Every structure is written in C-alpha cells, then in structure tokens.
Amino acid sequence: MGSFSVLINYAVVKKIFNKNIALISSFLIATSPAWINQTRNSRYNLAAAILFLPFLLFLRDSIKDKGKSLFKLGLILGLTMSFFPSPILLIPASIAGFIFYSVKPKFKYILNFILGFLIPNTAFIIYEVSNKFSITLQLLSWVPYRILGFFGLYPKNTVNTTTLSQNIYSIYHFFAESFLGYANILTLVLFILTIGFSVFFIKRFYKNKNKEMPFFLLIISLVVSYVGLFIHGNPPEHYYLVIFPVPAILAAYILDKLIKKKTVLIVSTLILGTIGLYGLYKVNWFYQDKLPVNYLIRPVPYELQLKMVNSIIKDARGAEFSLFRKNIQLLKEKKI
C-alpha cells in the first residue's frame, strides 16, 4: 500500500500541478516517517489517505466544468468514507472550494454527487434501513453536540486552555511526523516556514487564483479539515489521514515556486527527504525493544511483538487459546 501511494501521488500530482511537484512530493512521501509507519502498521484506513489525491483531482475538475464531474467526486468521497469516517470533513471543504471560486453547479449535478457518494456505501445504507438509521441518528446528534460544546453552549466538550494547546500541537505534530518522525527545533522551523510561505503565496496568487487553483484547493482542504478536527477536540493522530498527503505536496509546491535552478532544487529535495530517513534511523522504530514514548499511543515495536507472540505460545503449552482487545482507556485507568 505504501509503495502504491507513491505511484498514485506521482500520477495525480503531475496531472494537477506539474512534473517537478509530482517528483518532489513523491520522494518526500517515500521517505516520510509518517507514511512509512502507517504502511508498517498495515491499517486498512491508509487507503483513505491515498484517496485524497483523486479527491483533489476531481474537486478541481468539478469546479472547472461547473459541476459536471461531481459524480466522480461523490464516488471518491463515498469510497473514502468506506474506509474511515473523518473524510466527511472533505464535504464542507468541497463546498468551500465551490464558494471560493463562485461556482454554482446545477441541481442535477448535485444529485449526481449524492448518487456517486451513496453507491460505495450501499451495504451501509441497507444496514441503516434495517436498523432504523441508528448510526445516522447518532451522527446527526453528535455533530451539534461537538459544535455547541466547543462554543460553550453545552456543558460538555467545552474548550479550555488544555484543549486549545492540544489542538494546536496536533497539527504541528502531524507536520513533524511527516518530515522527521518526532518533534524538535528543526521540525518547528520547517512548520513555521511552511505556514509563512503558504500565506505568502496565498497573498501573491490571490488575484490569479484560477491559474493556481490546485494550490488554493489544497489550502482549503487543509484549513477546513483542520477546523473540523479542532472542533472535535484533541484529534487522534490517525484522524489526519483525511489530509495525509498535504504536507508533502505543500512542501513540494513551495520548493518548486521558490527555487528556479534545477540543481539547487534537487539538492534541497534530497536534504528534506534525508531528514525523514535520518529520523527513522535515529528512532530505529522497527527493531527497537523500547521506544521513548508510551506503547498505549504508539504501535508496538517489531522485536517486542515477537517476544509477546513467543510468550503467548509458550504459556499456552500447545493448548487452544483466544485473544481479545481490552479497552485502552480502562487499561490506562488500571480498571482491567
């Protein structure tokens, strides 16, 4: 899945942006600790991260052709939702994109979007109909609960300094994991530079936003999705799968716009990619016995997995046994 994501990124980004940005972003993804770790985790929801790429392509096409490609956009979003729920944030991001470019699609195209969205979720729809829309009703009640609580209109999920700091740190941690694998002064500098240059290019290209449409749609997707995660409050790391390719593409875009000499561009890309490989080498995640982090919030190292398996087999003494997952929160509270 990880290797496949590099190829998909190159093909799609080349079509949306240009060859340079496609090559740079693909190299950064290939050397990204975040992408490598997600691949090693072998979680099915990594597919949602890869599907962000065709989402961006069809969003651009839908705006350019005034809604004719909305069926494809709905199909991709529906397929993405089959793997993971947080891509629902890309729906308001899509709406924001249409509003930003003052495009109002015909009603029939909106219906095409809904149809495309529903097709991959046919099994879910059948389940909901047979269970009186239990999950849908829970979702419809959960969204207002989160929003009202965030703005202090409901006594739960209220914002405090701890929540705000966790939310702000989460986006920084997401970028840090994408380039180095852990947070330090270098990732902080990279994060600040990325934000600074993004703001600079937004101001620079705003009057010519149609020509730089992919960049603005990338920023809109990032901002709207992050606002949704911010309101959610202290989002888990895997929630950022909804915009997982964004840091690599954004960094590639900035490098391509800033550096015109090919040799300097290649060297800069290699340095940035090498930072990711150095992060993996320093942490030595795969074969370490111990990590400088809590196992409750990190994947278990390979060497420790082997010890656990051997211990279970030895303890079973050839008898049948079964495994089940305990509630992590209760485990933290030492109630189980």
DSSP of 210-267: TTTHHHHHHHHHHHHHHHHHHHH-S--GGGGGGGTTHHHHHHHHHHHHH--SHHHHHH
Whole-angstrom distance, CA of residue 154 vs CA of residue 148: 5
Structural domain count, the chain? 2
176 and 303 fall within a common domain: no
140 and 239 fall within a common domain: yes
Each residue's pLDDT tens digit, 196-253: 999 999 999 998 899 999 999 999 999 999 888 887 767 777 788 889 999 999 999 9
Point out the domain boundary residue: 283, 298, 318.
283
Each residue's pLDDT tens digit, 126-165: 888 888 888 778 777 777 777 776 666 666 666 667 777 7
- Put simply, whether the predicted model's pTM sits higher than 0.85 gets the answer no
260 and 309 fall within a common domain: no
249 and 302 fall within a common domain: no
229 and 326 fall within a common domain: no
259 and 335 fall within a common domain: no
Which residue ranges of the chain lie beneath pLDDT 70? 1-2, 42-43, 149-160, 233, 279-302, 324-336
The domain in which residue 313 lies consists of: 288-336
